[in-house]
Amino acid sequence: MAKSARTLSLIIVCCLLGSLLANPALSQSTQQLLRAEETKLREQQQRRDQLTALIASKETDLTALDRELVANTESHVVYKTQQELLADQYEKTVDDRRAPETTRLEIAISSFKKGDPQQNALIDEIRSLDNLGNAGANRRVLYDSVITAANQRLTDLNAQLRELGSQINETHKLVTASQIQLQQLQTDKSALSEELASARTELQNTRASIENINLQIAEIKARRITAILTGLEIDQAVSRPALVVKIDNARPARPQAGINQADIVFVEEVEGRLTRLAAVFHSKTPSAVGPVRSMRTSDLDLLAPLNGPLFANSGGNRGTLAALARSTLVNIGVGAASNLYYRSSNRRAPHNLFTNSANLWSVGSGFAGVGQPSAMFMFREPDTAVIPSAVPVSTVNINYGNSSVQYRWNGSSWDRTQDGSAMTDSAGVRVSPTTVIVRVTNYVRSAADSRSPEAVSVGSGEALIFTDGQVIQGTWARQSASEITTYTDSAGGTVLILPGQTWIELPRANSTTFS
C-alpha cells in the first residue's frame, strides 16, 4: 500500500513537472504579423502601380498642355500685332478725317498732281475747259470737282473708319479670348504640375515604404523558429531529445491517445500481418499517449537517425531487450521506469497502458547519449510548386495482409482510414497527416524472435511520397543505420514535402495502389 502511494505521488510530481514544460504550438502571432506585412506590401505595390500609371498620364497631359500653350501664345501675339496695326491705321485715318476742308482740298489737288489716274483725268478735263476761255465757268467746274473729290474722300474715310472699327472690335475680342484662354491654360498647367509633383513625391515615398516592408518581411522570416521534424513554425526553440512511443494499432487499441501530436509516425508490420506504430514526439507535449505496447527489432535501425531518442515501450523479449541495450536508443520503457506508466480503467489489458510525454522527458532528458534529433526531411514553402513529375492523387490504398489502410486527400491533408473505419484520436479528432510516405520495405525474420518480421530499413527501395494532393514516385536510401533516409525523385533530385505531420508507412512490395 505504501509502495502504491509513493508511486502515485511520483506520478503526480512528474505530472506537475510536465505541466511546467512549454507546449510548442504554431506561432499564430508571427504568422498574423507576417500576413499583415504581406497585405501592406500588396497594397503599397498596388498603389505604386497606380501612381506610376497616373504620373505617365499626367506627363502626357502636361506635354499636350505645353503644346497648346505654345500655339495659343503664338496666336495671342498675332492677334495683338494685328490689333496694334489696325489701331495705327485707325489713328491715321482719324487724323485724315479730322483735316480742315481747305487742307482736304489741298490734299485733293495735290493728289491730282501726283498722278492719280482718276484725278489726272479730272485735271485734264478742267484744263480743256480753261482753253475754252470762260474763266468763271472753268473755276466753278474746278471748284465743284475738287469739292466732290474731297467729299468722296471723306465718305471713303468714313467707310474705312467703320471697317477698321469693326476689325478692331473683332481683333480685340480675339485678343481678349486668347488672353483668357492663356490664363486658364497657365492655371491648368500650374494645377497639373502640382498634382504631378505630389504624385511623384507619393511614388517616392511608396517605393521607400515597399522597401521597408520587404525588410520587415525578411526580418520576420529570418527570426521564424521552425520545428526540426515538422518544419512548422513554433513560438520558441525546443531543446530536448526526440521521444518515441510504441503504440498499439490493433482494433481494441483504437482510438489511440496523442497520435495527432506526434511529429512523425512510423507504421510497421508485426506478427499476424498486423501493424504497430512508432510515434515520434518532439515539438509537442501530449498529456496522454498510448496504448503503449512492446518494441520490435525493426525499431532499432529505423529510429537510430534520431540521435539517441528516448524510447518508451511496454517491454520485449530477452533478445529484443538485449539488442535495445546495444543500440543508440535510450530505454525508458516500463521495465526501466515503470512509475512513468499507468493503466486506464476504461480499457482491457494489454490495450490500456498509457504514459505522459512530459513525465518521460522530465526523467529521460538526463540520460547519457540523448541529443537533439536531426531534420528527417527537406521542406518546401506551401506556395512553391511541386516538381513537374508529380501526379495528382486523391486516394491511396495500402494492404498489410490482415490490416488495410486508406488515405484520402481533403484539400490540405490526407484523411486516414484503418480497416474500413475513419481513424481518430481519443479526443475524436480525425487523423489526417500533411504528408504520407510509403517506403516499400523488405521484411526478414527477427533474430530475437523467428515469428516476428523485421523491417529492413538500411539500403534502398521504392518510395511513394504523397504531398499536396500529388504523388512523387522515387527512391528511399541510406547506407547505415545512423544515416538519415534520403528521398529522391525519378530524376535524382531531393524530394521536398510540405511542413506538417508525416506518416511513414512500411508495407511490402506490391501492396500499395493509388488513383
pLDDT at 494: 92
Q: Is residue 402 part of a domain?
A: yes
406 and 505 inside one domain: yes
pLDDT of residue 89: 80
Distance CA 154, CA 152 (A): 5
Stated length of the chain:
515
User: Given 181, 203, 222, which residue is the final one in a domain?
Assistant: 222
pLDDT tens-digit series, residues 318-366? 999 999 999 999 999 999 999 999 999 999 999 999 999 999 999 887 7
* CATH number reported for the structural domain that contains residue 248 in this entry: 3.50.90.10
The string of pLDDT tens digits covering residues 28-62 is 677 788 888 889 999 999 999 999 999 999 899 98
**pLDDT value for 167:** 83
Residue 365's nearest CA partner among 285, 310, 326, 283 is 310
Position 411, amino acid? G
Mean pLDDT for the chain? 85
Closest C-alpha among 338, 346, 244 to residue 289: 244
Please identify every stretch of the chain with a pLDDT value under 50, giving residue numbers as ranges: 1-26
* pLDDT attached to residue 19: 33
Q: Is 127 in the same domain as 235?
A: no
Domains contained in the chain, number: 2
What is the extent of the structural domain holding 320? 229-514
Q: Please tell me the predicted confidence (pLDDT) of residue 370.
A: 85
What pLDDT, on the 0 to 100 scale, is given for residue 31? 72
Q: Which of 200, 222, 244 lies at the terminal end of a domain, its last residue? A: 222
Output the pLDDT for position 110.
Answer: 62
Are 144 and 262 part of one and the same domain? Answer: no
Q: What is the pTM of this model?
A: 0.63
Whole-number Å distance between alpha carbons of 74 and 96? 33
Q: Which of 259, 255, 256, 275 is nearest to 267 (CA)?
A: 275
* The domain boundary residue, chosen from 176, 192, 222: 222
- First CA to last CA across the chain, in angstroms? 59
**How many whole angstroms separate alpha carbon 41 and alpha carbon 35?**
10
